[in-house]
Amino acid sequence: MNFEIIRDPRLMRARGEDLRRDGRRVAVVPTMGYLHDGHLSLLRAARASADVVILTIFVNPTQFGPNEDLARYPRDEDGDLAKARGCGIDLAFCPDAAAMYPPGAQTFVEVRELARPLCGEKRPGHFAGVATVVTKLFNLTQANVAFFGAKDFQQLAVIRRLVRDLDLGVEIVGVPIVREPDGLAMSSRNAYLSADERRQALALSAGLAAAEAAFAAGERDVAALVATAGALIAAQPAARIDYLELRDADELAPLERVDRPAVMALAVFIGKTRLIDNRVLRP
Ligand code: AMP
């Protein structure tokens, strides 16, 4: 298949239907662009499992709050397409916001309980924006399978539930977090960090690692594990914890003791930059 860039949602839909009709297994990798190795690992996993790989690049306005970084979110479409083509993608879908949300758009997809805590509580409306755009991207691409990163743990849980509850019929594959050599989870937003903030941001993964070490040594008390991670993070002058919680990994319900798979999830401002990370603890 010759590499192709599509910007018009109607063309994308028509192309997706053709691919389906031809019996091709189609994978989609939704992103907001400014690609790093985390995104590329999703593309490589997609390439290994499908006949046709579609990368979508769309900085989705409906998942940003009014005081968030939509306007300054980093963009580099040419660089992204070069990197993605290096991973062997077949098609890039890069719509603009006006095409995805024409005037009068007023239908949103809401996942309830799973989308309430953590990022859902701190970013009201965020997961409705995510669930809506992902539903649209599934409809437009007609993909059989979609790849998402475990870096956005709650997002992955929300999307799995969305697909199940609305019978979307798309297989969802979660891909492990890709980190910098020193442990910082890769993120497009890392580009916002100054050199000093970049050093302080290491406390996120270090805090999670400290909690995991305590867990491995037998600690099961949630408050104690959270305090272990929190102390490391709070020691950084530029850090402000937005949330740091250890919850049941399936339903994201609160826990007192880790007696089943659990996820320690955090969002921390380093200066003005909000970063997220997580680690699953399995008894
Ligand atoms: P974004 O462009 O930030 O919306 O991310 C697009 C996809 O890439 C999402 O499924 C993310 O979970 C995934 N992703 C982002 N960063 C990483 C990472 N460090 N490791 C693995 N997946 C990631």
Angle between the N-to-C axes of helices 126-141 and 153-165, in degrees from 0 to 180, rounded to the nearest 10: 60
Length of the chain: 283
36 is catalytic: no
Closest alpha carbon to 5 in 71, 80, 64: 80
Instruction: Report how far ligand 1's centroid is from the alpha carbon of 214 (Å).
Output: 28
- pTM here is 0.98
pLDDT averaged over every residue in the chain: 98
Q: How many CB atoms lie within 10 A of CB 78?
A: 8
Report CA-CA distances (Å) from 20 to 38, 53, 265: 28, 13, 37
User: What's the token pair of residue 147?
Assistant: 């790849």
What pLDDT was estimated at residue 134? Answer: 99
Please determine, for residue 119, whether its predicted confidence score (pLDDT) is greater than 90: yes
Ligand 1: which residues within 6 Å by Cβ? 31-32, 38-39, 41-42, 148-149, 151-152, 175, 177-178, 185-188
pLDDT at 71 over 90: yes
Asked if the domains at 4-175 and 188-277 fall in one CATH topology, the answer is no
Atom number of ligand 1 nearest to Cα 155: 12
State the SS3 of 18-60. Answer: HHHHCCCCEEEEEECCCCCHHHHHHHHHHHHHCCEEEEEECCC
Mean pLDDT of 233-242: 98
Backbone angles phi, psi at 172, to 5 degrees: -110, 125
CATH number corresponding to 188-277: 3.30.1300.10
pLDDT tens-digit series, residues 178-231: 999 999 999 999 999 999 999 999 999 999 999 999 999 999 999 999 999 999
Instruction: Write down the architecture of domain 4-175 according to CATH.
Output: 3-Layer(aba) Sandwich (3.40)
Phi, psi angles (nearest 5°) of residue 248: -55, 130
Question: How far, in Å, is the centroid of ligand 1 from the Cα of 281?
Answer: 21
**Mean pLDDT, to the nearest integer, of 91-102?**
98
Q: What is the pLDDT of residues 257-273, one digit of tens each?
A: 999 999 999 999 999 99
Given a cut of 90, is residue 1 above it in pLDDT?
no
Q: Out of 12, 26, 39, 233, which one is annotated catalytic? A: 39
- pLDDT of 39 strictly over 90: yes
Q: 38 C-alpha to center of ligand 1: Å?
A: 6
Structure tokens at 81: 């397409």
**What mean pLDDT do residues 22-51 have?**
98
Q: Strand 145-149 vs strand 26-31: parallel, antiparallel, or unpaired?
A: parallel
Share of the chain above pLDDT 90, in %: 99
**Cβ pair 128, 61 in contact under 8 A:** no
Q: Where are the domains of the chain?
A: 4-175, 188-277
